Structure 1
Amino acid sequence: MATPGDTHAATKLSHEASVTPDHSVREPTGALELPNSWKYKRLNFLGLKIPWYASPPTQLVIVSFVCFMCPGMFNALNGMGGGGQMDSKANSQANTALYSTFAVVGFFAGTFTNKLGIRTALSFGGIGYSVYVGSFLSYNHTRNLGFTTFAGALLGVCAGILWCAQGAIMMSYPPEESKGRYISWFWMIFNLGAVIGSLIPLGQNIHTKDSNAVTDGTYVGFLVLTLIGAGLAWTLVDAKNVIRHDGSKVIVMKHPTWKTEILGLWETFFTDPYILALFPMFFASNWFYAYHFTEVNAAYFNTRTRALNGVCYYLMQIVGAYVFGYALDTKGLRRTTRAKAAWVALFSLIMVVWGCGYKFQTTYDRTWSETATNRKDWTDEGFGGPFALYIFYGFTDAAWQTSVYWFMGALTNNGRKLANFAGFYKGIQSAGAAITWRLDENKIPFMNMFASNWALLAGSLLIALPVILWKVEDTVSLEKDIAFTDETIEEVAPKARVTTANEHLSEKV
């Protein structure tokens, strides 16, 4: 899901240099000699060589678990539908505020991260998730809509900063040849957070078919995990102490200021106006979450079945990202061919899955949902069809997000230009999410919301087709990508380079 569960576009440009640390030397055999500190102790466990603590893999795993416990629990809670409540009003109102602030604050997150530093930014961002979860625990007893709405608005600020800091590590810590694997590890761990989070309410409600709000214990479990995640950020080492396996040190780049950010986005309209054709795909990329979580999962299923659906929804997200991600990088096929095949596959998937969704949506409406005393359980006859549909909604979501990032990455290798594309993506995506949660809050008929989703997804693919046919090339020439903005660089190393398109693949709170 892309939710504030996605990597924020404020990580705009990253460079890295093969700079040998002053305090590390190479032995005559070529083996790396590390400083004499606990941070660089090599460990062996059951024959496995574990990287030293101040190495990129270890640091990335720590960041992954911060996101596992903070955005991962957010995704699990929202995946329950209604934030775990039977009445979705509080959740819809909170998420409207969340995505509204996220859409705006995202453009300023880089500036705040520059001032706070990565560890502080990650921890501050994690606290926003704790407040959000705590507001629903409070709502179970006080029905205080004001608090949940405030918590959503605050989380929009915190999520922007957290994903900005996460992106700084994701882009600058790995060596060039390992960036794809590092991104894959991160998303597997992060999405497993939502899977594990969904198991908590499943375990607590597994023996009851009642349709009630999730228990206080569920919220307490989420709250404890988010607090641990916020604290875990402080176990990261300073970037200046991180040493790669080849002896090089990382160069963490300065994020763009809000001024250069806005100017860069404005310039893109003139240099690459074709990006406008992708805007509908950006807008659609978070539009469907209110429908998935609130108008299908919460509206149709009882509490324990909603939890089971959440587990399988996020498992299929992992599968979908893996299938489409590896298919899009298939060796032996021209990139233009892969782009066209991806469009056909994505359009076919949308038509088949949402076509089945139309048939399912004709079986119930909002009136039924608001008056039903016994929502559907996994033991009920006919459960299999709606369950399969729901988890394939998750697969389609991952396929969509992965393809959008890949299409953007196939258009250019220029890091600054990609940053501008991603800036448009996150801003437009969050604006769409804010609108759709507001529509749900206003009790829009389920069929109307369904129709808007299907039409937007299919229509946006048709609008984007000319860009995919005529702008995606097998390779982007250096002449087209030579433009480069230096204002965002904190430190330029002798062998600095611009990140490639694939290094910017990332996703959702």
Structure 2
Amino acid sequence: MDCWARTQFRYNSPFVQVCLIGLVCFCCPGMFNALSGMGGGGQVDHDVANNANTALYTTFAIFGILGGGFYNVFGPHITLFGGCATYVLYAGSFLYYNHYPHQTFSVFAGALLGVGAGLLWAGQGAIMTSYPPTDRKGTYISIFWGIFNMGGVIGGLIPFVLNYNRTSAVSVNDGTYITFMCFMSVGAVISLFILPAGKVIRDDGTYATKMSYSSPSVELLETFRLFTNWKMLLITPAAWASNFFYSYQFNNVNGLLFNLRTSGLNNAFYWGAQMLGSFGIGYVLDFSCSSRRRRGFIGITLVTITSILVWGGGFANQLRYTDGKWEDKIDFKDSGFRFAAPFVLYFSYGLLDAMFQSLVYWVIGSLADDSETLSRYSGFYKGVQSAGAAVAWQIDQKKTPLLSQLLINWSLTTVSFPLLAVLVGAVVED
């Protein structure tokens, strides 16, 4: 046990480095998720958040794809710190909007956050998929996902506590945004403690990857090649679908059905469900049987079944308000049984999200074992994911019927599963 502790908890071990990037994402994207999960970024008027998120995911789509190249050229410190700083500005823009309701600053901050998020998530993907040993990537992905989503849990409790007595339809108070900004600033500082891939040593004494930093010309060429890489083309539908449903779930389930304090509480459970989902699918992908390829097929089957059940429940719930109107907001304290079914549905959405994205990251991690390649693959994944999200936020902004939004989300998710199965069958080796 003592020997295990010495190896696992070394500063330059994959375990510690994955935990550190988890803490960075706990403070920055985790708090951002909590902010978005309230619906409308905590504002009664969802237009400002929809437009800010459209700008965010548009630039994210570009810099997500380019982010792997930035990471390979500049390394983790500059890439991650620069990405984290933009989260602070984004939260601050909503604090500004509380006092000066002009959208310009929030939309600009959203566009800048898209640049920063592209850099951050490309680096995160490279660290999470290349640092761990090959046979434990599912476990390390679930560890990261658990730490990251604890940020959403705590971030959900912040507006719940600070706005507990404000049950009417109002925007969240200044203290909520200030607290988010403090957490995000801490995440930027933690990012400076992430080690480059060439300094990370696994427990068997091998380096995670012997990476030498690249050049801009090489990275630009390799980025263009991603669009003709058949593996990335098979990943594309899953990437497009994986954030597409957030606008529907956050605005039109949590933000529409529940009052302010209850949506904050729901947020905590939504991201808590993500922790359970990631740990569960991580165990299946690493330990369910001896064959790595078979574990991939089992994981895809499990997530497919879960998707059918959850979206089927969402379809039944959506039939209750096809006109997009829900006058009597649900309160966890006063609504009794009216609260139970929508709450379980929203919890299940979080569970499915984590299972789906953890599965995709596991498949990406199976395509290579060096951080240089995986940073590009992860960047491509996040770029396509963000392009889908940009479209989704505008679909909601254009007041698309909610039943149509749900069916689009369900269809996109379903299409991705057979393509992931083809990829696992063709690439994953035992």
Q: What TM-score, normalized to structure 1?
A: 0.74
- Aligned twin of 1:394: 350
- Aligned twin of 2:178: 220
- Aligned twin of 1:376: 330
Tell me which amino acid in the other structure corresponds to 1:148.
Answer: S
Which of 143, 149, 166 matches 1:185?
A: 143
- Aligned twin of 2:79: 121
Which of 334, 337, 344 matches 2:291?
A: 334
Corresponding position: 1:90 with 2:90? no
Paired residues of 1:411 and 1:471 also in contact (CA < 8 A): no
Separation in 2, partners of 1:52, 1:473:
30
- Aligned twin of 2:236: 279
Corresponding position: 1:440 with 2:396? yes
- Percent identity, aligned pairs only, is 41
Change (3 A) 1:460 1:206: same
- Aligned twin of 1:160: 118
Q: CA RMSD in A?
A: 3.4
- Aligned twin of 1:499: none
Tell me which amino acid in the other structure corresponds to 1:160.
Answer: G
What SS does structure 1 have at the residue aligned with 2:389?
helix
Corresponding position: 1:288 with 2:242? no
Separation in 2, partners of 1:244, 1:357:
43
Q: CA deviation at 1:169?
A: 4.8
Separation in 2, partners of 1:194, 1:433:
19
- Aligned twin of 1:321: 278
Which of 421, 427, 430 matches 2:386?
A: 430
Separation in 1, partners of 2:12, 2:359:
33
Task: Map Cα deviations across residues 286-311 of structure 1 (whole Å, 9 max, x no partner).
Answer: 11011111111111111111011111
Task: Map Cα deviations across residues 347-368 of structure 1 (whole Å, 9 max, x no partner).
Answer: 2222211111111111124652
Separation in 1, partners of 2:86, 2:317:
36
- Aligned twin of 1:137: 95
Paired residues of 2:129 and 2:362 also in contact (CA < 8 A): no
Q: CA deviation at 1:282?
A: 2.1
Separation in 2, partners of 1:113, 1:61:
19
Tell me which moved more, 166-175 or 217-226: 166-175
- Aligned twin of 1:301: 258
Tell me which moved more, 203-212 or 220-229: 203-212
- Aligned twin of 1:360: 317
Change (3 A) 1:257 1:79: farther
Tell me which amino acid in the other structure corresponds to 2:238.
Answer: M
- Aligned twin of 1:449: 405
Tell me which amino acid in the other structure corresponds to 1:344.
Answer: T
Corresponding position: 1:471 with 2:408? no
Paired residues of 2:142 and 2:282 also in contact (CA < 8 A): no
Q: CA deviation at 1:472?
A: 5.3
Separation in 1, partners of 2:385, 2:166:
37
Separation in 2, partners of 1:266, 1:115:
16
Separation in 2, partners of 1:460, 1:242:
34
Q: Could you list the runs of 5+ residues in structure 1 that have no partner in the other structure?
A: 1-30, 33-43, 476-509
Paired residues of 1:168 and 1:253 also in contact (CA < 8 A): no
Paired residues of 1:122 and 1:233 also in contact (CA < 8 A): yes
Tell me which amino acid in the other structure corresponds to 1:396.
Answer: L
Task: Map Cα deviations across residues 248-296 of structure 1 (whole Å, 9 max, x no partner).
Answer: 77767345555434543554666x6365344222211111011111111
Separation in 1, partners of 2:195, 2:358:
31
Separation in 2, partners of 1:275, 1:242:
27
Task: Map Cα deviations across residues 171-218 of structure 1 (whole Å, 9 max, x no partner).
Answer: 666677876655443322211111111111111223442222111111
Paired residues of 1:107 and 1:258 also in contact (CA < 8 A): no
Paired residues of 1:110 and 1:258 also in contact (CA < 8 A): no
Tell me which amino acid in the other structure corresponds to 1:87.
Answer: D
Separation in 2, partners of 1:168, 1:418:
5
Separation in 2, partners of 1:55, 1:335:
24
Paired residues of 2:235 and 2:419 also in contact (CA < 8 A): yes
Task: Map Cα deviations across residues 421-461 of structure 1 (whole Å, 9 max, x no partner).
Answer: 54442222111111001111122121111121112222333
Separation in 1, partners of 2:423, 2:43:
42
- Aligned twin of 1:345: 302
- Aligned twin of 2:24: 66
Q: Could you list the runs of 5+ residues in structure 2 that have no partner in the other structure?
A: none
Task: Map Cα deviations across residues 354-396 of structure 1 (whole Å, 9 max, x no partner).
Answer: 1111111111246524xx3x41111313210111011101111
Separation in 2, partners of 1:54, 1:331:
29
Tell me which amino acid in the other structure corresponds to 1:233.
Answer: S
- Aligned twin of 1:14: none
- Aligned twin of 1:312: 269
Q: CA deviation at 1:105?
A: 1.4
Tell me which amino acid in the other structure corresponds to 1:260.
Answer: V
Tell me which amino acid in the other structure corresponds to 2:426.
Answer: K
Separation in 2, partners of 1:275, 1:146:
35
Paired residues of 1:105 and 1:160 also in contact (CA < 8 A): yes
Change (3 A) 1:349 1:142: same
Tell me which amino acid in the other structure corresponds to 1:385.
Answer: A
Paired residues of 2:300 and 2:417 also in contact (CA < 8 A): yes
Tell me which amino acid in the other structure corresponds to 1:392.
Answer: S
Tell me which amino acid in the other structure corresponds to 1:290.
Answer: S
Change (3 A) 1:252 1:95: farther
Q: If you compute each CA radius of gyration, which structure gives the higher value, 1 or 2? A: 1
Separation in 2, partners of 1:68, 1:292:
21
Paired residues of 1:317 and 1:397 also in contact (CA < 8 A): yes
Number of paired residues?
Answer: 426
Tell me which moved more, 417-426 or 446-455: 417-426
- Aligned twin of 1:102: 60
Task: Map Cα deviations across residues 299-351 of structure 1 (whole Å, 9 max, x no partner).
Answer: 11111110111111111111111111211223535344434433332222222
Which of 390, 397, 414 matches 1:458?
A: 414
